[in-house]
Amino acid sequence: MALRPARTFRDPDKVPYTRKSRKNMSKNYVKTDPHQHLHQFRMGKIGDYEVAINLVAQDTFYHRDNALEASRQAVVRTLEKKAAGKYYFVVLKYPHHIIRENKMVAGAGADRISKGMRLAFGKPTHKAALIKAGDKVFTVQTFKEYVDVVKEAFRKASRKLSGSWKVVIEEKNAAN
């Protein structure tokens, strides 16, 4: 079964559903923890780079961890082809919001099996990161000659995420 579209989930201005208690399991709001798709948050070599390039959101959206992982892979694939070993890439947002789905049964005789909207709290199925307008999602530190490569990588990554994005370039001081 395919993933449901993002419009079916909660509005970003609502209270997040994230409470997971490890010490006292009886106080859990979230009974099961969905599988995490985004595993790596730091890639490349730590070094003394000249510029820091950020991918900044212009809209507020929930982004699933599998979408963040796909965009991370697009960035790393482009950087490894054209700037191998000359960058340090960091994912700045962690997907910890739990997305719930109320599974519905369709077809003949489904009215005897499905309960419709009765007790429609839903079961945890995915994780998502709330990314607000102005938040930095990815940052790459590199040298000035690779700025165009990073811009191209961020262009490819932004195609895999909802909303509009902009690339912000910050010069790093010698003191940093």
Question: pTM for this structure?
Answer: 0.82
End-to-end Cα, the chain, rounded Å: 49
In the predicted model, residues of the chain with pLDDT beneath 70 are 1, 6-10, 19-22, 25, 27-29, 31, 105-116, 119, 174-176
Q: Residue 1: what residue type?
A: M
CATH number for the segment(s) 38-98+127-171: 3.90.1170.10
- Asked if residue 63 lies in contact with residue 135, where contact means CB atoms within 8 angstroms, the answer is no
pLDDT value at residue 175: 56
pLDDT value at residue 99: 83
Which residues, in sequence order, are bridge partners of residue 170?
52
Return the domain boundaries, the chain: 38-98+127-171
pLDDT value at residue 122: 77
- Asked if residue 95 lies in contact with residue 36, where contact means CB atoms within 8 angstroms, the answer is yes
pLDDT value at residue 13: 75
Number of C-beta neighbours around residue 154 at 10 A: 24
- How far is 61 from 161, CA to CA, in rounded Å? 9
pLDDT value at residue 146: 96
